[in-house]
Structure 1
Amino acid sequence: MLDKNNIINNLIKKAGVDITVDQAAAIKAYIDLLLETNKQINLTAIVEEGEIWRKHILDSLLIFCALAVPPGARVIDVGTGAGIPGFILKICRPDLHLTLLDAQQKKVKFLEKVVTRLGLNGVECLWGRAEEVGQNKNYREKYHLAVARAVAPLNTLAEYCLPLVQIGGFMAAYKGPTGEQELKEAAGAINLMGGTATKIWQRQLPGGEERRILVIVKKERVTPPAYPRRPGLPAKRPLK
């Protein structure tokens, strides 16, 4: 696939990431299925393949430039939607143990279809609310890394994600230009959830002017048992 599209190949190199021909083919198969299913259910507003590569795929892979994800890490993608960034991380790092979490059953069914079609191992497609999953002993504080992209403001996202992260693990929030301001507003929520040692990593997305920010939060203390609160409250009454 990369031999047919030098533009995509150049973008990948400029982003500072590296993928094999087989991984590129798997991502292409995912994109084809995404666009096919998008005709029936709304999975992505971006329908031009080159822009999917640039704005979804490359954006997803930037985490490997910003954070050393250890071999065999357990990763949960909170509010994954169509499986971005989770599927892209898994395709490029097959050693990862991935949970894809979404509250919409129709999207979870799509995720399951992708897993079957691509023959992916070590992927759990989970239908549920982050607030409920975060109180479930099978998932609470079990993950080395929780990622979220285009889900919620950072103060709400901290309550969704950090209860799922083990001590010593990380939350990584994919953000645009508002990321730095969101971090200032979310400092109290991050601290309450047990997170500290926050850093901002940023880069301009190749092929355009978009500035991408990753807010990376380290989990250093146990999240108080009262959090996350019941479904709906983190969004309606964000922590200060």
Structure 2
Amino acid sequence: MNVEQFQQLLAEKDIILSPKQLEQFELYYQLLVEWNEKMNLTAITDKYEVYLKHFFDSISAAFYTDFSAPLSICDVGAGAGFPSIPIKICFPHLQVSIVDSLNKRISFLDHLAKSLQLENVHFYHDRAETFGQNPKHREAYDLVTARAVARMSVLSELCMPLVKVDGYFVAMKAASANEELDMGKKAIATFGGEIEKIDSFVLPFEESERNIITVKKRKSTPKKYPRKPGTPNKLPIE
């Protein structure tokens, strides 16, 4: 996907990028490649593929979620900033928090945010399990998102405790989403959630399947969740 295709396909979804926003994406790409030589941020460094598989794929959440309101968003395990930083570039009014367990990635994100002149972005070096038990962040966000971090039974335990009651958890998944959901329904309900919708689409050019799962939080998550670091992955609720 070249820059013109990126701009055009977003415009078809009523996401119109200004010259400044296009410059921010270009600088994002340059910094991603530059820092990737020093640390492992992504296996994808070809410009065409970064714009398609990282930038466009991240923004695809906005095709099915309304980001026009002044939402507070938390991105769990964002790595090199996906999906929240591309979404933030497109919707500058959003308040974005990212939690990641690797301090080197946080250093990259901090440098990136300063370089792109992004406001109202916050980065936290923490495990999602301990972050979700922090009173400052527990049930504090309108929307919590994650992209390709873990299967739904595990991911919902890491993300749902951070979502406000009546807020949303939006999980971005590849082709195995329905199978994962079958395994994850019990966990989602345990943490106070209810599956509201599943939106499926095909990533352009590459034509690989993508699924965006939207979970509404109906009631508070029981205080014992999330469990200690590592436990959700070792003993998922299924």
Q: What is the TM-score normalised by the length of structure 2?
A: 0.95
8 Å CA contact 2:141–2:167 kept in 1: the answer is yes
8 Å CA contact 1:79–1:148 kept in 2: the answer is yes
Give the aligned residue type for 2:218: E
8 Å CA contact 1:169–1:219 kept in 2: the answer is yes
Distance 1:234 1:8, change over 3 A: same
Say which of 46, 49, 54 aligns to 2:47: 49
8 Å CA contact 1:17–1:65 kept in 2: the answer is no
Distance 1:179 1:210, change over 3 A: same
Of all paired residues, the percent bearing the same amino acid is 36
Tell me by how many angstroms 1:231 deviates: 0.5
Give the aligned residue type for 1:37: W
Tell me by how many angstroms 1:30 deviates: 0.8
Task: Give the match's secondary structure for 1:187.
Answer: helix
Tell me by how many angstroms 1:15 deviates: 6.1
In structure 2, runs of 5+ residues without a counterpart are: none
1:120-145 deviations in Å (ceiling 9; x for gaps): 11000110011001000000000011
**CA distance, structure 2, for counterparts of residue 198 and residue 90 of structure 1:** 24
- Which residue of 1 is the match for residue 151 of structure 2? 153
Q: 2:4 matched to 1:6?
A: yes
Give the aligned residue type for 2:166: G
Say which of 67, 85, 108 aligns to 1:110: 108
Moved over 2 A (4+): 4-21
In structure 1, runs of 5+ residues without a counterpart are: none
Tell me by how many angstroms 1:7 deviates: 3.6
Task: Give the match's secondary structure for 1:116.
Answer: helix
- Which residue of 2 is the match for residue 64 of structure 1? 62
**CA distance, structure 2, for counterparts of residue 74 and residue 8 of structure 1:** 26
- Which residue of 2 is the match for residue 220 of structure 1? 218
8 Å CA contact 1:17–1:62 kept in 2: the answer is no
Question: What's the C-alpha RMSD, in Å, of the aligned pairs?
Answer: 1.6
- Which residue of 1 is the match for residue 134 of structure 2? 136
Give the aligned residue type for 1:123: V
- Which residue of 2 is the match for residue 99 of structure 1? 97
Task: Give the match's secondary structure for 1:62.
Answer: helix
8 Å CA contact 1:193–1:227 kept in 2: the answer is yes
1:75-102 deviations in Å (ceiling 9; x for gaps): 0000010111111111111111100110
